[in-house]
Amino acid sequence: MLEFILERGNYWAIIGLMMIGLYIAFASTNLIKRLIGLGLFQTSIILFYISLSRIDGGTAPILFGKDYKKDKGHGEGYGEAGDHAGEAAEHSAQAADAAYGAAKAYGEAGMENVYSNPLPHVLMLTAIVVGVATLAVGLAIIVRIREAYGTVEADEIRAMDLEVAIAEAAADAEQGKAGAV
Amino acid sequence: MIELISSMVPDTLAAHAPALLIAIPMLMAPIAAFMPSGRIAWILSILATGFSLVMAIVLVSQVQSIEGGAVISYAMGGWRPDAGIEFRIDALNSMILLLVSTIGFLAAIFSWPTVLAEIREAKTAMFYSAYLVCFTGLAGVASTGDAFNLFVFLEISSIATYVLVALGASRDRRALPAAGNYLLLGTIGASFFVVGVGFLYAATGTLNMAELAIRLESVQDNKAVFAGYAFIVVGLGIKAAMFPLHQWLPNAYAYSPSFVTMFLAATATKVALYALVRFLFTVFGLEFAFEGSTLIWILMPMGIAAMIACSFQAVFQTDVRRTLAYSSVAQVGYMLLGISIGTAAGVSAGLFHLVNHALIKGALFMALAGVVLTYQGTSLQDMRGLGRSSPWTMTAFAIGAVSLIGVPLTAGFQSKYVLVTALFEHGWWWAVAVVMFSSLLAVVYMGRILEAVFFRAPTNPNKRHKEAPLLILIPLWILALANIWVGVQGGFVAGLADDAAASLFIGGAP
C-alpha cells in the first residue's frame, strides 16, 4: 500500500496543488490572491500533462546517436514532401500521407534510444500561452476594478454594489408611484 | 437559396471552406486593431463575418449534398488527421456554424450605433478586433475535430469575451467585477475540460475525437476514462451555464455592452452546449454516457431545476436584461432536458430549441440595445410606455417575447412542441407538466415587461418619440421575422436539427 502511494508521488503532488489552487481561487476575498490560486491550478494541470509524457528510462525527445543519422535520411524525404505540399490540395494530401507514412515506418523500425513522448510538452506550451493571456486579462481587469472601486477585496466590492442596487430599487419604486399617480 | 449562394462560390474557395471560415476573421482581427478609425474596423468585421457566413452556407450545402449528411474532413496544413489537426464538419457542425456566422453577421451590422454610444471612440477599433477574435474562437470550436484544439479555440473566444464584458464599465462599473467573476469561473471550467482531455489521452493515446470514440470502446471500464468524463461534463457545463454552474451569467449579461450581451446570449453558451453534446454522443458514445454512467440522473434534474428555479428568479428581477439573462439559463434547461432523453427525437428537439433560442434572445437583446441607445435604461420602469414612442422596436421585441413564451406560429412553439412530443414518446409525461409550468412562468415574466411596454403611461421624462436607428431595426426585424418564419414553416431549421441528431446516432462514431 505504502509503495503504491509513494510510486505515484507526482500525482499526489498534482492533486494537492490543484486543490490548494481551487481553494484559494474560491475562498480568498482578495482578487489578486484569487488569480494566484487560478495560476496554481493551471500550473498543476501542466505538471499533470508532463507526468503523462514520461516513459521509463526515456530521455528528452531530441534524436541523438544512431537515431539522428537515420532521421537525416528521412529528413530529406520530409523536405520533398513539404515542397510538393504547396502545389495543390490533392497533392498536398498525398505528400503529407507520404511524410506521415515515412514517419510511421521509421517509428516502427525502432529506435536506438528511448525517448519520452513530446506531444504533451507541445500541448502544454499552448496551455502556458493560454494561461499567460488569461492572467494578463485578469490583472488588467483588476487594475480597472481598483480604479473604479478603490479596493481589490471582493466582499467590499459586493457591499458597494449592494448599496447601489438598493438605491436603484428605491428610486425605481418612487418613479413607479409617481407613474401610478 | 443555399444552392444559389454556394454555386456562386469558386471551387478553390469551396474546397478550403472549413479553414477559410476561421482564418479570415482571425486574420482580420489584428488588421482591425490597427485601423485609425472605428468605422473602418466595423466595415472590416462586417466583411469578415459576412465571408464566414457564405463559407458556412457552402459547408451546409456540401453536407446536405449526400442523403443523410456527408462528413467533410479537412486536414489542416495537409497533415493526415491522426498526425495533425483535423477539421471535421458533419450535419451538427454545419448547423452550429451556420447559426454562429448568421448571428455574428447580423450582430456586426447592428453594432455600430450602440458601440458608438457605449464604447469610447479611441477603443472602437480594438473593440471590433476583440469581437472578431471571439467570433473566430466560437467558429473554431464548432468546426474542429481535435479535442485539445477545441480547448484552445474555447479559450480564444473566452478571453476575448472577458475583455468585451469588461468594456461595459464605461456605462456601469459593475461590469468589471462581473467580468472578473466570469474570468475566474470560465478559466476553471476550461481547465477542468483540459484535465478531462488529459485523462482521455492517457487512456487512449489520441486527441482526435473520431479516433477517441473508436479507442474508448475498448477501455470503457478504465477509471481514468470515468474521471475524464466527469471533468469534461463539469468543465463544459460551466461554459454552457448548466444550472448550478451558471452564477457568472446574469451579471455578465446585465452589465456588458448591449452588443456584447446580444452576441453572447445568442452564441457563446450555445457553442459550449454543442461541445458538450459532441463529447457525450460522439466521443463517449450513447451507451457509455447514458447507461455505463448515470448521466441521465444528472442532466435531467439539472435541466428541470434550471427551468423552474431560474424562471422564478426571472420573475422577481426589476431589470429587463437580468430577467432575460435568468430566462437564458432556464432555456438552457429545456435543451438539457431534450438531450437527456437520449433518443434521436429528444436530441433533435434540444438542438432545434438551441437554434430557436438563439433567434429569440438575439431579437430580444437587439431590441433592448435599441432601448438602451435611446433611453439609457433597461429597468422595468424605463420600459413603460415604449410601445407608443417606438412602435417598430417594441413590436419586434414583442414578437421575440411571444416566441420565448411559446405561442403558436412562433419559433418557440415549434421547438417546445417537438420537445413535448419527444418527452411523451419516452414516457416522461411528468416532465411535460414541468415544461408547461415553466412556460407559464415565462408568461408571467415576459408579460410583466410587455404590460409595462404597451399598457402603461410613460414615466421616464427622457422619452421622446424616438425609434432605434435603421441599422438596428433592419437586423432586428430580420431576426424577428425569422422567428415567425420558423414558427410557420419550421421545416428548414427542424430538418437541420434532425440531420444533426441523426449524425450523432449513426453507429456511435461520426
State the pLDDT at residue A91: 47
The mean-pLDDT minimum among A21-30, B455-464, B471-480, B501-510 falls in B501-510
- All three cell numbers of A140: 488588467
**Residues from B in contact with A at Cβ < 8 Å:** 15-16, 75, 77-80, 83-84, 148, 151-152, 155, 159, 162-163, 166, 169, 173-174, 176-177, 179-180, 183-184, 187-188, 190-191, 194-195, 198, 201-202, 318, 379-381, 384, 456-457, 459-460
ipTM over 0.90: no
State the pLDDT at residue B193: 94
In this structure, what are the phi and psi dihedrals at residue B319, rounded to the nearest 5 degrees?
A: -100, 130
Contact call for residues B197 and B147 (beta carbons, < 8 A): yes
Residues in B closer than 8 angstroms to A142, CB to CB, are 180
Instruction: Give the confidence band of A132 by pLDDT, cuts at 50, 70, 90.
Output: very high
Tell me which chain A residue has its CA closest to the CA of residue B458. A179
CB contact under 8 A, A130 and B166: no
Whether the pLDDT of residue A180 is over 80: the answer is: no
State the pLDDT at residue B183: 93
Residues in A closer than 8 angstroms to B195, CB to CB, are 45, 48
Closest CA to B106 of B58, B45, B154: B45
State the pLDDT at residue B45: 92
Residue found by looking up cell 454555386 in the block: B7
CB contact under 8 A, A137 and B318: no
| Total CB pairs under 8 A between chain A and B | 113
% helix, strand, coil for chain B, step of 5? 80, 5, 20
Indicate which of A38, A137, A168 best probes the interface with B, i.e. most B CBs within 10 Å of its own CB: A137
Contact call for residues B385 and B316 (beta carbons, < 8 A): no
What would the pLDDT profile of B96-106 be if each residue is shown by its tens digit?
999 999 999 99
Q: What's the whole-number mean pLDDT along residues A164-173?
A: 82
Residues in A closer than 8 angstroms to B201, CB to CB, are 52, 120
Instruction: Give the confidence band of B173 by pLDDT, cuts at 50, 70, 90.
Output: confident
State the pLDDT at residue B291: 61
CA atoms of B393 and B397, how far apart (whole Å): 6
State the pLDDT at residue B465: 58
Residues in A closer than 8 angstroms to B152, CB to CB, are 126, 130
Alpha carbon B212 to its chain centroid, in Å, reads 26
State the pLDDT at residue A70: 63
CA atoms of A177 and B337, how far apart (whole Å): 41
Tell me which chain A residue has its CA closest to the CA of residue B14. A89
- All three cell numbers of B229: 468524463
Element (H, E) at B75: strand B72-75
CB contact under 8 A, A179 and B15: no
CA atoms of B307 and B376, how far apart (whole Å): 31
State the pLDDT at residue B190: 93
CA atoms of B319 and B325, how far apart (whole Å): 10
Q: How far is B416 from chain A (nearest CA, A)?
A: 35
- The SS3 of residue B49 is helix
Element (H, E) at B190: helix B175-204
Secondary structure letter of residue A59 according to DSSP = B
CA atoms of A89 and B125, how far apart (whole Å): 35
Q: What's the whole-number mean pLDDT along residues B133-154?
A: 92
* B198: nearest CB among A48, A149, A179: A48
What would the pLDDT profile of B404-457 be if each residue is shown by its tens digit?
988 888 888 888 888 999 888 888 888 899 999 999 999 999 998 898 888 887
* Residue of B142 and B284 predicted with greater confidence: B142
pTM of the model: 0.89
Instruction: Give the confidence band of B459 by pLDDT, cuts at 50, 70, 90.
Output: low
State the pLDDT at residue A47: 92
Q: What's the whole-number mean pLDDT along residues B289-296?
A: 62
Q: How far is A51 from chain B (nearest CA, A)?
A: 10
What would the pLDDT profile of A14-68 be if each residue is shown by its tens digit?
999 999 999 999 899 999 999 999 999 999 999 999 988 887 777 777 877 777 7
State the pLDDT at residue A71: 59
Residues of chain A with pLDDT > 70: what percent? Answer: 73
Q: How far is B375 from chain A (nearest CA, A)?
A: 15
Secondary structure letter of residue B88 according to DSSP = E
Closest CA to B319 of B261, B242, B260: B261
Whether the pLDDT of residue A99 is over 80: the answer is: no
Whether the pLDDT of residue B192 is over 50: the answer is: yes
Alpha carbon A159 to its chain centroid, in Å, reads 34
Q: Which one of B63-67, B199-203, B241-245 scores highest in mean pLDDT?
A: B199-203
Work out the mean pLDDT of chain B and round it to a whole number.
86
% helix, strand, coil for chain A, step of 5? 80, 0, 15
Indicate which of B16, B80, B248 best probes the interface with A, i.e. most A CBs within 10 Å of its own CB: B80
Whether the pLDDT of residue A83 is over 70: the answer is: no
CB contact under 8 A, B80 and A175: no
Whether the pLDDT of residue A158 is over 80: the answer is: yes
What would the pLDDT profile of B33-87 be if each residue is shown by its tens digit?
888 888 899 999 999 999 999 999 988 888 888 766 778 888 887 787 777 888 8
Q: How far is A24 from chain B (nearest CA, A)?
A: 11
CA atoms of A18 and A40, how far apart (whole Å): 7
Q: What's the whole-number mean pLDDT along residues B264-275?
A: 91
Burial of B108 (0-12, 13-18, 19+ CB in 10 A): buried
Q: Which one of A36-45, B295-304, B333-342 scores highest in mean pLDDT?
A: A36-45
CB contact under 8 A, A130 and B459: no
Residues in B closer than 8 angstroms to A158, CB to CB, are 177
Burial of B34 (0-12, 13-18, 19+ CB in 10 A): exposed
The mean-pLDDT minimum among A122-126, A165-169, B505-509 falls in B505-509
Kindly report the number of other CB atoms within 10 A of residue B210's CB atom. Answer: 21
Instruction: Give the confidence band of B138 by pLDDT, cuts at 50, 70, 90.
Output: very high
- The SS3 of residue B423 is helix
CB contact under 8 A, A45 and B195: yes
* B381: nearest CB among A145, A154, A176: A176
